[in-house]
Structure 1
Amino acid sequence: MTRTALTERTVSVGGTDIFVTETGAGPAVVLLHGGGPGASGMSNYARNIDALAAHFRVIVPDLPGYGRSSKGVDRSDPFGYLADNIRGLLDRLDLDHAHLIGNSYGGACALRLALDTPDRVAKMILMGPGGIGTTRAPLTPGLRSLMSYYTGAGPSRDKLETFIRTYLVFDGTEIPADVIDDRYRSSIDPAVLADPPLRRPSGPSALRTLWRMDFTRDRRLRTLPTPTLVIWGADDKVNRPSGGHLLAKTMPHCDLLLTANTGHWVQWERADFFNAVTTAFVTGSTR
């Protein structure tokens, strides 16, 4: 779907290889993808890159554990690990700061990076981010489907298709079969099978890890200076839309958009709307 000229490279950050695709010119915008099986930066933002590259330098990494980046994630603090690696990527790209756009798992990465080092994030757009009230309610059906992908009988195309068509989007019939095929192939990469990137914490330290992954327990959220736009699909079956209201009430510079007839993949399902809103928010004044 992307037609602009792309450059690709692998950047080493503290021993982790991060595969990065870039295009466009202008203020730096980093697109951080979600954590579903077989996800990658380019596949998750295929409907957005061209439109955003008309205004920005668009940087699209594969998060650690996904795509062509190194596999493996720090299980004791996964969001912190992702944030540290993306901050390191900014360093390697000689960027003092950038705008961060994150969906789901990538939204959690962006929020953690902003909380740890707010001076590195100019503006932030979060779409159904992870880590919002995750210790206070049972898992959603979508998260149960996602977390069980590598368990039981193991991964299969049918399991992935069920997750994508039933839980990821509002209208599953709109997802082309080749999108599922591509993600399935990526999800069964031997390196991924050996160390799946997104698993529910277990073992003696599981509770501590879960608390660390719940941003609503982080007092820094109430004073975060980063201008933030939260976009949440009203029919999100993976992360509860009530998380958007919670962030808007808690964060001092947070606007909230709820999108009708939209699931968890707002940048794909409502691409034209998302591209326009994102461009306006990043380029406009927030005061």
Structure 2
Amino acid sequence: MTAQRTVTVGGSPVHVLESGTGPAVLMLHGSGPGTTGSGAWAATAQTLGTSLHLVAPDQAGFGRTPIPPGSRGGLRLWTEQAAGLMDALGAERYAVVGHSMGGAVALALAAARPRQVTRVVAVSTMGAPGAPLSAELDAVWAAAPGPLGARDMLSRLVLDQALVTESAVAARAAAMRAGAAAYTSLFPPPRARWADDLTLSARTLAGIRAPVLLVHGAEDRVTPSGRQPCPCSTTCPMSVCTCSAGAATCRRSSTRTTSGDSCRASSAGTELPDRCDGSAARPQAPDSPSVGERRLRWTLPRPCRTRRSHLSPPC
């Protein structure tokens, strides 16, 4: 069962979707206009049930969470607000899952709060040094509120175009209109500077102590895997899942290594990290952070068994 409420963080309201009563998992949405915590994660929360305490906020400037007076959106604000939210909820230790922009926030939060963040899953994450703003992401950020803009944006965000239904377009168009005033201030042109704002420094990445799982869709055009350097590969202990035709997984390393000597993959199969459980999965909604990802589903934050899956070599 899920519930929505408002939590005061630093004197400013933060709208939150919550479910479950188990170990805490903070879930951070991406940056498309009209996205919200509930829009991005409600289907995931329903699937995971009540064994985890899932916390999915509208980040500042999105949904029902305003940008605090005197502030503007950006990595620093979103990171500090996420940390403050979990403090306000009394969560002493928690995992973090982030999609796209939320992935960069998740990694920054792990570096800022190494004692609180137990592990990170970053899906199609931004934040990699040297990753340019793609034409697709530029178009997503520029999408005009309304049905035409919603349809164009959703068609870019999902691999399976059957998910771009009339009801999905209508719902997203309504959300885009409702949040248009705040969203306009987040990513005005020229937009490459906002991608730069979400870039994580080597020093920040080096401060991450939690294991990190990176997941990237093979057909992702918004943050294409071929143009996304691994943000953690040389700077932090990690478990990595990237993709080529399907996906490939690197083992978690206890030392700082390059992705080349930490990966183990073959055409016969790839070992999944010892902190995740592989199973068939499919995007359930256009707002879901599952652009092209298949076959992987994670149970966090408890450890679980290792299993093998027939995956493609790493990109």
TM-score bin, normalised by smaller chain: 0.7 to 0.9
Cα offset, 1:227, TM superposition: 0.7
Q: Residue 52 of structure 1 contacts residue 58 of structure 1 at CA under 8 Å; is this kept in 2?
A: no
Q: Distance in 2 between matches of 1:81 and 1:220?
A: 15
Q: TM-score scaled to structure 2, two decimals?
A: 0.74
Give the structure with the larger helix fraction. Answer: 1
Which is further off, 259-268 or 82-91?
Answer: 259-268
Identity of aligned residues (%): 25
Distance verdict in 2 for CA 1:43–1:271, change over 3 Å: farther
Q: Residue 225 of structure 1 contacts residue 253 of structure 1 at CA under 8 Å; is this kept in 2?
A: yes
Q: Distance in 1 between matches of 2:159 and 2:213?
A: 21
Q: Residue 123 of structure 1 contacts residue 227 of structure 1 at CA under 8 Å; is this kept in 2?
A: yes
Q: Distance in 2 between matches of 1:243 and 1:117?
A: 29
Q: Residue 248 of structure 1 contacts residue 255 of structure 1 at CA under 8 Å; is this kept in 2?
A: no
Determine whether 1:224 maps to 2:208. yes
Q: Distance in 1 between matches of 2:305 and 2:180?
A: 40
Task: Using CA pairs under 8 Å that are at least 6 residues apart, name the structure with larger relative contact order, 1 or 2.
Answer: 1
Q: Distance in 1 between matches of 2:189 and 2:84?
A: 25
Determine whether 1:32 maps to 2:28. yes
Matches within 5 A, 1:6-45: 6-45=2-41
Determine whether 1:214 maps to 2:229. no
Aligned residues: 267
Give secondary structure in 1 for the equivalent of 2:184: coil
Q: Residue 103 of structure 1 contacts residue 265 of structure 1 at CA under 8 Å; is this kept in 2?
A: no
Runs of 5+ in structure 2 lacking a partner? 247-281, 307-315
Q: Distance in 1 between matches of 2:222 and 2:18?
A: 29
Out of 187, 190, 207, the position equivalent to 2:176 is: 187
Out of 155, 163, 187, the position equivalent to 1:199 is: 187
Q: Distance in 2 between matches of 1:201 and 1:84?
A: 25
Other-structure match for 2:224: 240
Cα offset, 1:13, TM superposition: 0.7
Determine whether 1:124 maps to 2:126. no
Out of 274, 282, 285, the position equivalent to 2:301 is: 282
Q: Distance in 2 between matches of 1:242 and 1:282?
A: 29
Cα offset, 1:155, TM superposition: 2.9
Q: Residue 98 of structure 1 contacts residue 122 of structure 1 at CA under 8 Å; is this kept in 2?
A: yes
Out of 156, 164, 167, the position equivalent to 2:146 is: 156
Out of 246, 258, 262, the position equivalent to 2:242 is: 258
Q: Distance in 2 between matches of 1:286 and 1:114?
A: 24
Q: Residue 99 of structure 1 contacts residue 121 of structure 1 at CA under 8 Å; is this kept in 2?
A: yes
1:176-230 CA-to-partner distances (Å, cap 9, x unmatched) read 32222112111112x6325525305769xx96x7654311x33231352111111
Distance verdict in 2 for CA 1:155–1:62, change over 3 Å: same
Q: Distance in 2 between matches of 1:192 and 1:72?
A: 16
1:114-140 CA-to-partner distances (Å, cap 9, x unmatched) read 12222221111000112223x553x21
Cα offset, 1:78, TM superposition: 0.6
Other-structure match for 2:90: 94
RMSD: 3.1
Q: TM-score scaled to structure 1, two decimals?
A: 0.80
Q: Residue 71 of structure 1 contacts residue 195 of structure 1 at CA under 8 Å; is this kept in 2?
A: no
Q: Distance in 2 between matches of 1:195 and 1:267?
A: 19
Runs of 5+ in structure 1 lacking a partner? none
1:46-105 CA-to-partner distances (Å, cap 9, x unmatched) read 321122234311112111111122246944x71110010111111110111211000011
